[in-house]
Amino acid sequence: MASPRWFYQISGRWLPWLSLLTFVSIIIGVIWGLGFAPQDAKQGNSFRIIYIHVPASFLALVGYYIMAISGAIAIIWKIKLADVVMKSAAPIGASLTFIALLTGAVWGKPTWGTYWIWDARITSMLILFFLYLGVIVLQKAYSAQGLSNKAAALLALVGTINIPIIYKSVDWWYTLHQPATIKFTEAPSMHPDMFQPLLIMIIGFYLFYVTALIVSMRAEIIFRERNTSWVKELALNLKDKRPI
């Protein structure tokens, strides 16, 4: 169990369903958020950007923990699959962080009056983006794969301190960014008509994260095991069919 081969086979069975579920929930969330959620009394329609901005930021932070923890598991217990998770999580996390920064900038212009400001929230989020890029680059830094992975995992672990800083930055310091709308301890400070599509989008982004991670891990597994007999067999079996 927990071998790359085992994961490849079992994930192949889940993948079509997960992809379908991801697609359906994001489509519903997007249509609901763009067309059916009421506009905000103060911000008008620019508020609709929240349906991308909040789920992307959320998964960018969660994804960092997933990457760092699997990096630690790969270092300590030398589990191959954990290493594959770390490697696949980095570009997905970087993309989600980029989406969070971009949608934030585009939302900032009509609400704050500027695309960018160096406040604690936005700066720490930019640092997160660079941490993800650092992990991606370090994985390719040394010709010895083991050394590269170790260096990348260490950077990922050192960077975990940034996650609580991002999350609490709006409470610890004076920032232009407002405090969190969705809190762990109390009800969201948002009307239910607006919150329901947001919940759908957060679920959709979670599903997207899992699906994207699995798809990326499967490609990485095939690459790493390309010289093994089971991958060769799989490739030759796919020869007559259209490989997906």
Partner 1 sequence: MMFQFENFSDFIYMAGHGQYVWTAYSVSLIIMAFIFVMPLFRKKNIIQKIIKKNH
Partner 2 sequence: MHTLRRYRLTMVIFIVTTTSVAVGLMSYALRENINLFYTPSSVISGDAPVNVTIRIGGMVVKDSLTRSKQSLQSTFRVTDGKSEVDVYYDGILPDMFSEGEGAVATGEINGDLVFIASSILAKHDENYMPPEVTYALDEAAK
Q: Which residues bind partner 2 (CB under 8 A)?
A: 38-43, 47, 50, 72, 75-77, 110-114, 117-120, 154, 157-158, 160-162, 165, 172-176, 178-181, 189-191, 193-194
Is 58 among the residues that bind partner 1 (CB under 8 A)? Answer: no
Decide which of partner 2, partner 1, none touches 232; Cβ closer than 5 to 8 Å per partner kind. partner 1
Phi and psi at residue 40, to the nearest 5°: -85, 145
Residue 44 DSSP SS3 = strand
Q: How far is the CB of 212 from partner 2 (least distance, A)?
A: 26
231 binds partner 1 (CB under 8 A): yes
Distance (Å, rounded) from C-alpha 41 to C-alpha 18? Answer: 36
Least distance to partner 1, CB of residue 185, Å: 29
- In the list partner 1, partner 2, none, the entry touching 140 (Cβ below 5 to 8 angstroms by class) is none
**Contact positions with partner 1 (CB under 8 A) in 181-210:** 193, 208
* Distance of closest approach, residue 201 Cβ to partner 1, in angstroms: 11
122 part of the interface to partner 1, by CB under 8 A: no
DSSP notation for 92-118: HHHHHHHHHHHHHHHHHHHHTS-S---
The residue among 85, 92, 62, 98 whose CA lies nearest residue 149 is 85
Closest by CA position to 243, among listed 225, 227, 219: 219
Of the two residues 59 and 120, which places its CB atom closer to partner 1 in the complex?
59
Phi–psi pair at 164, nearest 5 degrees: -60, -30
Binding mask 59-88 for partner 1 (x = CB under 8 A): -----------------------------x
135 vs 86: CA distance, rounded Å: 9
Strand partners, 49: none
23: exposed, middle or buried (Cβ count in 10 Å: 0-12, 13-18, 19+): middle
Residue 14 sits in the site that holds partner 1 (CB under 8 A): no
Hey, which residues does 238 pair with through a beta bridge? none
d(CA 63, CA 179): 21
User: Does 223 contact partner 1 by CB under 8 A?
Assistant: yes
Cβ proximity to partner 1, 27 vs 76, nearer residue: 27
Q: What's the length of the chain? A: 244
Q: Which two tokens stand for residue 22?
A: 């991801």
Q: How far is the CB of 215 from partner 1 (least distance, A)?
A: 5
Interacting residues with partner 1 (CB under 8 A): 26, 30, 34-39, 44-46, 48-49, 52-53, 56, 88, 91-92, 95, 98-99, 102-103, 106-107, 109-110, 193, 208, 211-212, 215-216, 218-220, 222-223, 226, 231-232, 234-236, 238-239, 243-244
